[in-house]
Structure 1
Amino acid sequence: MTIEIGKQAPDFELPASNGEQVKLSDFRGKNVVVYFYPKDMTPGCTTEACDFRDHHESFAELDAVILGISPDPIDRHEKFIEKHDLPFLLLADEDHKVAEQFDAWKLKKNFGKEYMGIERSTFVIDKEGKIAKEWRKVKVKGHVEEALQFIKEEL
């Protein structure tokens, strides 16, 4: 399945940090920001999560829900949420199936080593469940503000 602007987002179901199984379709009628990040507690991922935290109310005012997804297990998500007081759900994609559906599971290179991992990516899904915007190879600085601005102006 390919991700395409204007097309239906793939529905998925993952364990969430609130102890429940969460489906993307549970949020129909709201705008949803789905962001894929490599790993809890790392510098870039912490900055990104805290930026989403700091803008959480602004997203909520625009009827937008934030969902963070990484391959980390729920217990690690819970520690990450507790440490940084994150007010949104983190979902555990331990087998990276959802990341693959969104084409965010990529071959990466670091210090000459190749491995498969999450390419930092964000998707805005509109109230009808369609992909409204995507960002690939996200640079953290200013990204959350850009996503917020998109929702404010386009949806």
Structure 2
Amino acid sequence: MILESIEAKIGSLAPDFRLRATNGQEIALSDFHGKSNVIVFFIRETSCPQCRTHVTQLGRMYEQFRETGTEIIVILGENLEKSRAYAEGIDLPFPILSDPDRAIYELYELEKYFLLFQRTASLVVDKEGVVRYLKRTTVPNVWLQETRELFGFVDSLNSVQLV
């Protein structure tokens, strides 16, 4: 696991990380630099139905996202065994990464709110590794509206020259 202590905010370089996926492959955010935009979604908890719905919606729209030059990765704050069990419950065309000690959650400032409510986030990192979209919340209902919003955003990255 790679940790860089850089604050994640819009317009800044995204903090890099390397985690193991449920298929056993190690994936780093920097693996996508120069190749594709990346949507990174942090699942709140395996029991979060809104997160599951959002991940399923992302899976259904995966080919549309790929057509915009965008890949998707999902991060789950569980050990590899629990992450695999979660992944088996939904057939996804993109990787689920295991963050058992939630170090990447902390890196992206997703600590538990009042030590009770896990913060979750969705972000878009462009091909240069810059955070272009970032939404953090403890209210998972926002993800039920976000899939189309994300698609519109990544589609606009292709038509706008970012400086």
Per the normalisation by structure 2, the TM-score is 0.84
Which whole-Å CA distance do the structure 2 matches of 1:123 and 1:18 have between them?
23
Runs of 4+ in 1 over 3 A off after TM superposition: none
For 1:50 and 1:124, locate their aligned partners in 2 and report how far apart those are by CA, in whole Å.
18
Structure with the higher fraction of residues in strand conformation: 1
Cα deviations by residue, 1:38-90 (Å, 9 ceiling, x for unpaired): 22253122111111111111111111111111211222222222221111111
1:118 aligns to what SS in structure 2? coil
Task: Give a deviation string over 1:75-133, Cα, whole Å, max 9, x none.
Answer: 2222222221111111111111111111122324xxxxx43x53121010000001011
SS at match of 2:122: strand
In structure 1, C-alpha distance between the alignment counterparts of 2:26 and 2:147, rounded to whole Å: 26
The answer to which of 56-65 and 35-44 deviates more is 35-44
Partners of 2:113 and 2:145 in 1: CA distance:
25
1:136 matches 2:136: yes
Q: Which residue of 2 aligns with 1:12?
A: 17
| SS of equivalent to 1:104 | coil
Which letter does structure 2 place at the counterpart of 1:136?
R
Paired residue secondary structure (1:40): coil
Which residue of structure 2 aligns with residue 94 of structure 1? 100
1:25 maps to 2:66 = no
Query: Structure 1 stretch 47-56 or stretch 73-82: which is displaced more?
Result: 73-82
Q: Which moved more, 1:37-46 or 1:144-153?
A: 37-46
Cα contact 2:41–2:75 (8 A) shared by 1 = yes
In 1, distance between residues paired with 2:118 and 2:54? Answer: 14
| Contact 2:7–2:15 (8 Å) recurs in 1 | no
Residue identity opposite 1:101 in structure 2? L
* Distance (whole Å) between structure 1 residues aligned to residue 118 and residue 70 of structure 2: 23
C-alpha separation in 1, matches of 2:113 and 2:20: 25
Match of 1:58 in 2: 64
Contact 1:36 / 1:118 at 8 angstroms: preserved in 2? no
Structure 2 gap segments, 5+ residues each: 1-5, 159-163
CA distance in 2, matches of 1:70, 1:148: 22
Unmatched segments (≥5 aa) in structure 1? 109-113
- Percent identity over the alignment? 30
TM-score, with length taken from structure 1: 0.88
Say if 2:78 and 2:101, in contact at 8 Å, map to a contact too: no
- 1:150 aligned residue (150, 153, 158): 153
Q: Which stretch of the first structure deviates more once superposed, 124-133 or 93-102?
A: 93-102
Change (3 A) 1:5 1:42: closer
SS at structure 2 position matched to 1:106: coil
